[in-house]
Structure 1
Amino acid sequence: MAKSYASTVIDASADDVWARIRDFNGLATWHGGLVATSEIEDGRSGVEVGAIRSFTLTDGTHLREQLLAHSDLERSYTYDFQKTPFDVDNYKATIRVTPVTDGGKAFVEWWTTFDCDRDKQDHWVGFFASQVFGGGLDALKNHFSG
């Protein structure tokens, strides 16, 4: 099983950062122009475990992800792929916001575990860590710096 990981510190409170990302369907509002359209299927809410977000990237790629866990107490949610163009299996990702008590900032980490062909593992680890998670965290950080 492979793991990708990215993290950052944001100059905002953990509560403010969590308020920005807590809606599972809110990806289009904070992930830096990557998502063209997004909706939660079957009339569910973006914080309801079991909800499926169906979204299209700006390049036309379509994905479906299911919310597996959501915790306001832990400021985190976990989801998996229901439909993906990526050549990975058993993908399970979590994003979490933790307070940095020295200075009132937020520590945000985002990671996934997944299976893939051994010869493609380095590619997918790097792709998820830098392009998906790193890009999203940079966009989130920029939201709070401006």
Structure 2
Amino acid sequence: MVKVFTSSVINTNIDKVWMKIRDFNALPNWHPAIANSAIENDEPSDKVGCIRNFNLKEGGNIRERLLALSDLDYFYSYLILESPMPLKNYIATLQFKPITDGNLTYAEWTATFDCDRQEEENLIKLVGDGVFQTGFNSLNQIFIE
């Protein structure tokens, strides 16, 4: 099993960050790699079990199921159902914590998955840098104050 861990500091308070990303269907509003997204079967985007179906700007479609969401602990977890990436058993958690010194936000995005050994290094870089860090960088651009 492969584990990817990426963390960052977002330059605004946690409530602003959470309101921007809480909606499981909001990826196109803050992540630059996402072209569009829809929740299947017209379910609420904060309903555990709902499925988001989104397209990447560079091509490719991904379907993910929401596993958990907590407004109290500022996190959600999800699993990939379908993806063009050569991985399986992918489960990720996106979590935020307040940094009281400066009214900032600590952001942490983790994932575990299985893949062929020859794909491991490439996928760690793709997920950690291409997905997670790119998302954090975008949030910091949105919240330039």
Settle same-fold status: TM greater than 0.5.
yes
| Structure 2 CA distance for aligned equivalents of residues 145 and 94 of structure 1 | 25
SS of the residue aligned with 2:16? helix
* 4+ residue runs over 3 A deviation: none
2:86 maps to which residue? Answer: 87
Task: Read off the aligned partner of 2:50 and give its amino acid letter.
Answer: A
Percent of aligned positions that are identical: 41
Structural mapping, 1:50-129, within 5 Å? 50-129=49-128
Task: Read off the aligned partner of 1:9 and give its amino acid letter.
Answer: V
Residues 121-145 of structure 1: CA distance to partner in whole angstroms, max 9, x if unpaired?
1111111000010111100111001
2:26 maps to which residue? Answer: 26
| Structure 2 CA distance for aligned equivalents of residues 11 and 141 of structure 1 | 6
1:133 maps to which residue? Answer: 132
2:9 maps to which residue? Answer: 9
TM-score (norm 1): 0.96
Task: Read off the aligned partner of 1:46 and give its amino acid letter.
Answer: S
Task: Tell me the CA shift for residue 120 of structure 1.
Answer: 1.6
Task: Read off the aligned partner of 2:12 and give its amino acid letter.
Answer: A
Where do 5+ consecutive residues of structure 2 fail to align? Answer: none
Task: Tell me the CA shift for residue 117 of structure 1.
Answer: 0.9
Matched length? 145
TM-score (norm 2): 0.97
